[in-house]
Amino acid sequence: MLKTLQVLFGAAAVFFLIVPLIAILPLAFTSGAFLTYPMPGISMRWFNELVTADAWRRSIVNSLVIGCGTTMLATVLGTTAALGLRGRVVLGGLFRTMFLLPMVVPAVVLGVGMQILFVRLGVANSYLGVIAAHTVVAIPFVVVSVSGSLEGIDRRVERAALSLGASPFTVLQRVTLPLAMPGIASGAVLAFATSLDEVVLTLFVAGPNQRTLARQMFSTIRENISPAIAAAAFLFIVGTLLAAAAAIVLKKQRQRRTGLA
């Protein structure tokens, strides 16, 4: 009796969690103009639309440019800071909290502040401004991820390298960074994903020229929903699955080779 209930509940909950992710996928291939089942036919027209329609194409390019910019900036800043936070920094706890807070503060509030401030700083409606805004919300993921992998490094391994004649910079380069690489890589992936999916700050700080894919999807859903959304969603989900699969394969390989987690 209890067993049956458990199975039923578990199946229903998994269904509730997964189906919304799957339901949208087939519609990417509809030949009709509406996001409804049954589909009148199969076609690639909406993928075509993504790469040919000006608004979509430019938004994809913008997302890639801004995503790459954010990833680089957030990964460099976050990794450096995570390295610094490892030592006994004055006010280390305060810094750590500051770096995590962007995850907590409501995006709309931050967006209002950025909109006012960016105009004064002269970075409103610029790629620089959007990249800075996205980097702020991507930073917590990088800091958490890199800090986590740094914590996993035995300090004695680094001391051993020092005692064997490696200067601190060489230790960083030959020992610390290679060992922290999984954390840095996953931080970078998370930063890119955060940027790709960011809408709220983009609404406040981006001009028409910096319209990102997510922003384009947002206004498409809001104003004139079309199956191009499903095609974009398809790309998103396939991209996520590929990234996850790649991460798992890499991790397995590394584990088999070096026994590292």
Partner 1 sequence: MSEVSFRQRVGALALVAPLALFIALFFVWPLVTVLKESVSDATVSHALPTMVDAAADWNRQSPPTAAMKAALVTDLRGIEDQQLFGDLVRRLNSAQAGFRTLLPKTRTAVDKSRETTAPEAVDLEEIDKRWSNPAYWQAIAGTLSPFTDQHLLAAVDLSRDGTGAIVALGADESANLTILLRTFWVSALVTLVCLAIGLPYAMLAAAMTGWRRQLLLGAVLLPLWTSLLVRTASWYILLQDNGLVNDALQSLGLTDAPLRLIFNRVGVVIAMAHILLPFMVLPIYSVLITIPKTLMPAAASLGAHPLLAFLRVLLPLSLRGVASGALLVFMAAIGYYITPALIGGAQDQMISSVIAFYATGSANWGMAAALGIVLLAATLLLYMVYGWLSSDKTARA
Partner 2 sequence: MAIPRIRFDQITKSYGSLRVIDGLSLDIAKGEFISLLGPSGSGKTTLLMILAGFESATGGGVWLDGKRIDHLPPYRRDMGVVFQNYALFPHMTVADNIAFPLQMRGVRKAEIAERVKRALDMVQLGAMSERYPAQLSGGQQQRIALARALVFEPAVVLMDEPLGALDKQLREQMQLDIRKLHMRLGLTVVFVTHDQSEALTMSDRIAVFNKGIIEQIGTPREIYDHPATRFVAEFIGETNLIEGTVERVEADMATVRLAGGSEIRVQAGTAATTSAKVLVSVRPERIHLGPDAGERGNALRSTVVDSVYQGDHLRVQLDDGAHGFIVRSDRRTAEWPQGAAVVASFQPEDCWVIAS
Residues 32-91 that bind partner 1 (CB under 8 A): 35-37, 77-78, 80-81, 83-90
User: DSSP string spanning 54-75?
Assistant: HHHHHHHHHHHHHHHHHHHHHH
> Is residue 151 at the binding interface for partner 2, with CB under 8 A as the rule?
no
Q: Which of 163, 222, 223, 224 binds partner 2 (CB under 8 A)?
A: 163
> Is residue 179 at the binding interface for partner 2, with CB under 8 A as the rule?
yes
* Structure tokens that stand for 225 in this block: 């929903």
Picking from 134, 234, 244, the residue whose alpha carbon sits closest to that of residue 189 is 244
Q: Which does 160 bind (CB under 5 to 8 A by kind): partner 2, partner 1, none?
A: partner 2
Q: How far is the CB of 150 from partner 1 (least distance, A)?
A: 12
Sequence-ordered alpha helix ranges (H) in the chain: 2-23, 45-52, 54-86, 92-100, 107-121, 127-151, 155-163, 168-171, 177-197, 200-205, 213-222, 228-258
> Is residue 248 at the binding interface for partner 1, with CB under 8 A as the rule?
no
Output phi, psi for 176, to 5 deg: -65, -55
Structure-token match 């919300």, residue found: 137
> Is residue 90 at the binding interface for partner 2, with CB under 8 A as the rule?
no
Q: What is the dihedral of CA 11, 17, 20, 23, to 10 degrees?
A: -40
> Is residue 116 at the binding interface for partner 1, with CB under 8 A as the rule?
yes
Stretch that binds partner 1, among 41-49, 144-152, 234-242, 251-259 (CB under 8 A): 234-242
Residues 10-49 that bind partner 2 (CB under 8 A): none
Q: How far is the CB of 148 from partner 2 (least distance, A)?
A: 17
Q: Using CB under 8 A, list all residues that contact partner 2.
A: 154, 156-157, 159-168, 170, 174-175, 178-179, 257-260
